Amino acid sequence: MKAELWVIYCDGSAVPNPGRMGLGAVVTAPDGSRHPLSITAESRGCNNEAELRALMAAMQYARQHGAAELLIHCDNSVVVQQLAETATEPFLRLAPLFDDVRAELRSFESVQLRWIPRHRNLEADALARAAVGLAPKGQSPAGKRRR
């Protein structure tokens, strides 16, 4: 039996940067069911750390639900380049976390990791921002109007 592809869109937010971290992801199962994740991280960190932690949370969720093949979308080019090991310089401060994420990626039968532009990742971004109490980008907070 051939494994079926799970699709992940992930994003992270740090407020301020570095600061509180919000993790957002949309995990779509092969049957089309969508599973949004919006998690407030217990620790503080930068936006790149939030992105990595969001990806890790999404992969762990997918694994717990039987995933073996993943197609991952991420709008952070630094994260994608570091994970693909195509970056020209290592990101030393987060090297242990990158190593943990790489190990998790290798534990799946098949993984494709793709960079996408931010405008194609709005739902995961909104979930990450919501985890730290922020409105989606482009929306003003409730009760306040822009003039």
Is the CB of residue 12 less than 8 Å from the CB of residue 53? yes
Average pLDDT of the residues in 108-131: 97
Average pLDDT of the residues in 79-93: 90
Does position 145 have pLDDT exceeding 80, yes or no? Answer: no
Between CA 112 and CA 117, with CA 114 as vertex, the angle to 5 degrees is 160
pLDDT bracket for residue 86 (50, 70, 90) = confident
Number of Cβ within a 10 Å radius of residue 108: 17
pLDDT of residue 32: 97
pLDDT bracket for residue 90 (50, 70, 90) = confident
Give just the sign of the alpha carbon dihedral 102, 104, 105, 107.
positive
Is the CB of residue 129 less than 8 Å from the CB of residue 22? yes
Q: Which of 23, 4, 111 is nearest to 66 (CA)?
A: 4
Helix (H) or strand (E) segment spanning residue 122: helix 122-131
Residues 18, 93: Cα–Cα separation, whole Å: 13
Does position 1 have pLDDT exceeding 50, yes or no? Answer: no
Average pLDDT of the residues in 74-92: 91
pLDDT in tens, 23-78: 999 999 999 999 999 999 999 999 999 999 999 999 999 999 999 999 999 999 99
Domains of the chain: 5-131 (3.30.420.10)
pLDDT of residue 100: 97
pLDDT of residue 146: 46
Q: Which of 119, 45, 114 is nearest to 80 (CA)?
A: 114
pLDDT of residue 142: 56
Residue type for 6, please? W
